[in-house]
Structure 1
């Protein structure tokens, strides 16, 4: 007997759900050629995130999943089997799903994640859904779960079909952690784009294969953002603008210029990010230290996040900042009843050390080294001295090297 849970489709598209081999899958990538298969990701709870490559025409009972099952309503033995009570229950279910997909304050992601959720972690999700385009800066304190908050936003956007292409930019040391946490906590499989992945892909599909066209969820390290071998293919996939795309930038403060001038010189990372960020529809920035003390540098970071609201060189207005930024400290959440361990710094006083004590000897050696270094730098040309960190070398401005600290007992 044919299944009524789905309908046969010639070729499913990216983002559609299909039923085959007794499981429900989401299509992540189309075939690259006639002998290549669709890339699928399982969304069943007992195998969430598992990948598969299938030849659609060769599958015995592959069907496009009709989530609402409207196609079976007019068939004999369809939903409810003519039973009014069963049909009423089904109709209420459809209405609930429709409401959660349209109402901004009804969330689905917290119920589809394997996490212990704290109530304060729902605020970024609420703010993200209230924005027409999710341009949000999550600047919570260290240890408050910014990765979980970003995962909730991503999962909710996927469930609401507002995102079908995601790139996570993270420091090189954090890429594996991002992949593991998104897989284990949200059932989302991400591919790390690095030299090993590029080599394996080219071995399978040829040197001209574009790694960004072989899936829909990727992780790239910060240091590779300026490498054309990796970024050129991403620009080709994004083109000038790609709808339903999301950029997640971890440690976003690295993109802010370090100087405090009105138009501070941007780093290569900042320029590379500026070239890419405008091509994404949605942007999610994460940083525990978003402000480096220079207002124009902070304005530049916000301009990368949302160029419609912010412009570098202009003061950031609190009214413009409030809708796009979430900033909570542990002390703020303790006042609301959240339990976080409080750090207590207790000084240790060391008295009555002898002159030959190792602590005093080490401090004296460090002071001598610093004195000799500054004396040598003072003889260098001005630009060399400034590069080595001595403001007095050759500057003729009357400043003098900072005196080295004397070893304290």
Structure 2
């Protein structure tokens, strides 16, 4: 096909204007064509080609309104749909009152879940605190905002920081509900990136959407490369901080005392253009601590040390709805009812009551003996006794094992003579959702608990024990060992409840189960094992007895976790025993 000056041609996947055509000197030679690019990103760039040698060279024919009209007109309804699609795509990129994200999410969005999205889009830079009640869908609300910001091309980099126990859950929900792929930033990810690209690589630069646990975020090993990735400020970036109250200073003093997580979040938050904080419990009871958290979110409106009293100012950055508020406008939520079950008329020599009296006497004797000891020694001794009291309230099985560790430590006299304060968090409470140990195997957590009991016991053991204290320890050990394998009154009450509500014919061969399920929460691994054993004995002989009970705890692995969830939601699992730190109801 011949080409002439002034034509529009397509060469090498681009459109050009023909500026000059040099005729062939000989018949067997090629035509030299001088071109000028018409594409926006290379307008006016010159190109010379041998026309016959170009593989995709093509002359673009003339297009006129007559040729368009000759093909006929579109159906009005079809053209109207096309026109409205163009208008919608244009308007929703600029109009904050029109949303696209709800139509791109694989969920049934509730009307009240659109309020955070509406408020976020009215902000020049998103700085929003979603403080809705538990179960109202803060994750969905955050996902809608993020999806909308991505579609409007206002966000390119995203970091979600959350407690370790919900990292996988965030990843699954973002992908299944919103089609957003996130990478979990952990030790395995860092190791794999360094293996693939070299030890000097900054792993943060290898992706644009990350999820990291609070525990790793406050680790300088991970926070320093994050700061390098963000620089002083990165536009089109968003920080989503789940359970944001963990980043609030814990003290009620004038300026509050920053934790390591507080300092880390305070450092990285200003580097993000957009920020979303999520928490069902935003206020920890200290107004100064709450103000410090809001300052991290929006330093233009709030200042640490200045109590937040202006409700209108707070409403500009916070969305806070309770379930009872939404019930009043027609939303339906199941009501949570706390029904105490009283167990009384126990005999005076019941093991639970006898151990409680002995342990209180032991506590009084230890307090009297340690009156002249240092504060750290007193605290260590009381930590051990408080830990024993909590375990006795959980189960005699948990109490008996910890009591044994305590006695062994006394016998070994493993004394910490430094007198310094000791950090023994596991004696105060089990690993929480923001503790990396919540995802460790039970055996590892239990071994660390035992070590802390021994260390605390050793520090206080330097003052010795009286003969009466040793007698009490011996007596408690005997009582606990005799009763630890028996079903206590609470288990008997639980079995009666199961028979009444889940398996009316329990005790008969192949007794059938109803569709109800029950989740039993317990704090200690020993109690969990004890409960599993006693319940398994109680339902022996019923239909599919071996499949009716399972346990949910840290370190079980992702595949096992999913299998338990599927069995609990389907059939035949009816009882799920979970440690409180490893089960998340969302």
1:96-143: per-residue Cα shift (whole Å, max 9, x none)?
A: 111111111111111000112111111111111111111001111111
Question: How far 1:77 sits from its partner (Å)?
Answer: 9.1
2:364 is aligned to 371
Give SS of 2:236's match. strand
Q: 1:374 to 1:146 in 2, by over 3 A?
A: farther
Match of 2:136 among 141, 144, 149: 144
Compute the TM-score of the two structures, normalised by the length of structure 1.
0.73
1:223 is aligned to 215
Normalized per residue, which structure has more helix? Answer: 2
Q: 1:357 to 1:216 in 2, by over 3 A?
A: same
Matched-pair contact (CA < 8 Å) for 2:269–2:296: yes
Q: 1:376 to 1:167 in 2, by over 3 A?
A: farther
Question: How far 1:81 sits from its partner (Å)?
Answer: 6.8
1:56-99: per-residue Cα shift (whole Å, max 9, x none)?
A: xxxxxxxxxxxxxxxxx999999x97746566653332111111
Matched-pair contact (CA < 8 Å) for 2:367–2:378: no
Matched-pair contact (CA < 8 Å) for 2:288–2:306: yes
1:211-232: per-residue Cα shift (whole Å, max 9, x none)?
A: 1111110011111123233222
Q: Distance in 1 between matches of 2:72 and 2:231?
A: 50
Verify: 1:97 aligned to 2:84, yes or no.
Answer: no
Verify: 1:321 aligned to 2:321, yes or no.
Answer: no
2:339 is aligned to 346
Q: Distance in 2 between matches of 1:304 and 1:342?
A: 35
Bigger relative contact order (CA 8 A; separation at least 6): 1
Give SS of 1:278's match. helix
2:279 is aligned to 287
Question: How far 1:265 sits from its partner (Å)?
Answer: 1.6
Give SS of 1:344's match. coil
1:346-375: per-residue Cα shift (whole Å, max 9, x none)?
A: 233333321112332243244234434534
Q: Distance in 2 between matches of 1:361 and 1:8?
A: 88
Q: How does 1:5-404 map to 2 (within 5 A)?
A: 83=73, 85=76, 89-316=81-308, 317-382=310-375, 385=378
Q: Distance in 2 between matches of 1:302 and 1:258?
A: 14
1:175-220: per-residue Cα shift (whole Å, max 9, x none)?
A: 1111111011100000011110011111110001111111110011
Q: Distance in 1 between matches of 2:351 and 2:71?
A: 87
Q: Distance in 1 between matches of 2:67 and 2:347?
A: 94
Count of aligned positions: 321
Matched-pair contact (CA < 8 Å) for 2:233–2:272: yes
Give SS of 2:190's match. helix
2:36 is aligned to none
Of 325-334 and 357-366, the range deviating more from structure 2:
357-366
Q: Distance in 2 between matches of 1:74 and 1:361?
A: 100
1:242-264: per-residue Cα shift (whole Å, max 9, x none)?
A: 01100000110011111101112
Higher Rg of the two aligned structures: 2
1:292-312: per-residue Cα shift (whole Å, max 9, x none)?
A: 100000000000111111000
Over the aligned positions, Cα root-mean-square deviation in angstroms equals: 2.7
Q: Distance in 1 between matches of 2:315 and 2:343?
A: 48
Q: 1:83 to 1:295 in 2, by over 3 A?
A: same
